[in-house]
Homo-oligomer: A and B are copies of this chain.
Amino acid sequence: MRGMGNDMVSKGRVTIREVAERAGVSTATASRALSGNHPVPAATRARVLRAARDLDYVANAHARALVGGGRKMAAVVVRQVTSPFYAQVAEGVEAEAADRGWLCVVGATGGDAQREMEFVQLMREEGARLVILVGGVVEDDAYRERVAHYAHALDSSGARLVLCGRPAPDPGIPALVVEFDNEVGAHAVTGHLLSAGHRRIVFLGGLPGNTALDARVAGYRAALAEHGLPPETAHVVDCGLGRAAGHRAMTELLKQTREFTAVFAGDDMVAAGALRALADAGLSVPGDVSVVGYNDIPLAEDFNPPLTTVRTPAEELGRAAVRIALRDPEHAAGAHHLLGTHIVVRDSVGPPPTGRAL
């Protein structure tokens, strides 16, 4: 009926017992032949494999995990999968996991702490051995407590917790941190604007308490200071992230002042919104205003103009997270890894318009 050979059992899954029976061995031998955990004579092995193929045998991962105590599964938790940056990180995790035959499950929280907790709980039930929490977050007491709870809970069942782009947990908390060096990236790109001659640079997209953004702001301020500019030169607009926020904040800013020649957007999506707002206001980039972004999302080179930005190799971040977590079994707990970034120069930065530079 199914057209798949006369050996198909019509109901229920075929188990290792049936394979063993058909191969004329015990389930123990069949298991050894199939899993390769224990040597088995070639002839026997071939007979078992043959039987398994004939019956279209599929091992039951649950039974296997039950006795084996755990399973090869990694979980990656992001705010939303559709954000280009998070998608790249998730892809990195998935790729690195797949390379080692691990399964990768993704959870989206939408930024909701409740959903994050539920998902971590679910991962505990599922026996995930690696949970990777991705994305900046504002660091308050509730957050610290939550992470401490995750870390201990996962640790007690032998699983690892990795924080990507999140603040380091309190000392003693068994979690790893892998992130980009936001401060040097921001420093570099601010320096790029400074050496193009800009002196009045506004930072668009601050989010006080969010350690990733705070670090970028710090790098921005440091670069300004190193150029001998007084601290009050710094102008940080705390509008948060995302295209809509960038658009709104830029529009608003233009109403208040035009006393700036460059914009450092905290994120490429913010830059996208800002670029549109500038265009709507009849300003040309980089003729009237120069703009830089952060993260180098895949479409940044198609912005108008192509965006000068800081490349944060997001996929590599994901890969590094699983690699590091799986490498140093015990030693690494509490370790803090920083990944390098580099600036990519495109067409959105030019000299400041004459007469407006300081």
Contacts and interface: CB of A to CB of B under 8 A. Distances in A.
Nearest to A172: B3
Contact size range, A: 35 or more
Interface string A107-142: 110000001000001101111000000000000000
Given A60-B66, A104-B105, A156 B2 contact: yes
Contact of A125 (B59, B84, B125, B306): B59
Contacts of A105: 103-106
B95 A91 contact: no
Contacts of A301: 276
A121 B304 contact: no
B13 A157 contact: yes
Contacts of A107: 94, 98, 104
Contact of A303 (B8, B63, B302): B302
Nearest to A13: B157
A152 interface: yes
Contacts of A42: none
Tell me the number of copies of this protein.
2
A87 B94 contact: no
A248 to B, nearest CB: 14
Nearest to A109: B98
B153 A56 contact: yes
A243 to B, nearest CB: 7
A18 to B, nearest CB: 14
A105 B108 CA distance: 11
Interface in A225-265: 243
Contact of A4 (B121, B152, B298): B152
A90 B95 contact: no
Contact of A302 (B87, B90, B91, B276): B276
A319 interface: no
A22 to B, nearest CB: 17
Contacts of A124: 58
B58 A62 contact: no
Contacts of A80: 91
Interface string A147-159: 0000011001100
A88 interface: yes
20 contacts: A58-B121, A58-B157, A60-B66, A61-B127, A62-B62, A62-B126, A81-B87, A82-B87, A82-B315, A84-B84, A90-B106, A94-B107, A95-B108, A98-B115, A105-B105, A105-B106, A106-B106, A273-B302, A276-B302, A299-B299
Interface of A: 2, 4, 8, 13, 56, 58-63, 65-66, 71, 80-82, 84, 87-88, 90-91, 94-95, 98, 103-108, 115, 121-122, 124-127, 152-153, 156-157, 243, 272-273, 275-276, 298-299, 301-304, 306, 315
Query: Ordered nearest first, which 8 A-B pairs have the shortest CB separation?
Result: A304-B304, A61-B125, A62-B62, A105-B105, A62-B65, A272-B302, A81-B91, A62-B66
